[in-house]
Amino acid sequence: SYVLTQPPSVSVAPGKTARITCGGNNIGSKSVHWYQQKPGQAPVLVIYYDSDRPSGIPERFSGSNSGNTATLTISRVEAGDEADYYCQVWDSSSDHVIFGGGTKVTVL
């Protein structure tokens, strides 16, 4: 079955750029979606179709996807960006949803 691999944690100083990777076999051929989850809250969609932002999501959040790696980039990181981030794809070969294991972003 298809597997998405994320680093368990990423630390970043305020004002700097955080990059969260999501690795998968030829993931560039799939559409990748990203969710932000703050403690005690439901996940919120921050990026869909690799790089599109839903209404209300700051431009500081961007995404890219190529080859075997998709990346969520958070520019000018703020304290409020501290959260868990999950990538997700639809595996059309099996008709299953796949989530990455999640990355905890800590703002130093």
Partner 1 sequence: QVLLQESGPGLVKPSDTLSLTCAVSGYSISDSNWWGWIRQPPGKGLEWIGNIYYSGSTYYNPSLKSRVTMSVDTSKNQFSLKLTSVTAVDTAVYYCARIWTGGNWFDPWGQGTLVTVSS
Q: Does 44 bind partner 1 (CB under 8 A)?
A: yes
DSSP percent split of the chain into helix, strand, coil, nearest 5: 5, 50, 45
Q: Does 33 bind partner 1 (CB under 8 A)?
A: yes
Total number of residues binding partner 1 (CB under 8 A)? 24
Residue 28 beta carbon to partner 1: minimum distance, rounded to whole angstroms: 15
Q: State CA 40 to chain mean position distance.
A: 19
* Pairing relationship of beta strands 96-99 and 69-74 according to DSSP bridges: unpaired
Residue 53: count of CB within 10 angstroms of its CB:
18
Which is nearer to partner 1, 16 or 32 (by Cβ)? Answer: 32
Binding interface with partner 1 (CB under 8 A):
1, 31, 33, 35, 42-45, 48-49, 54, 84, 86, 88, 90, 94-102
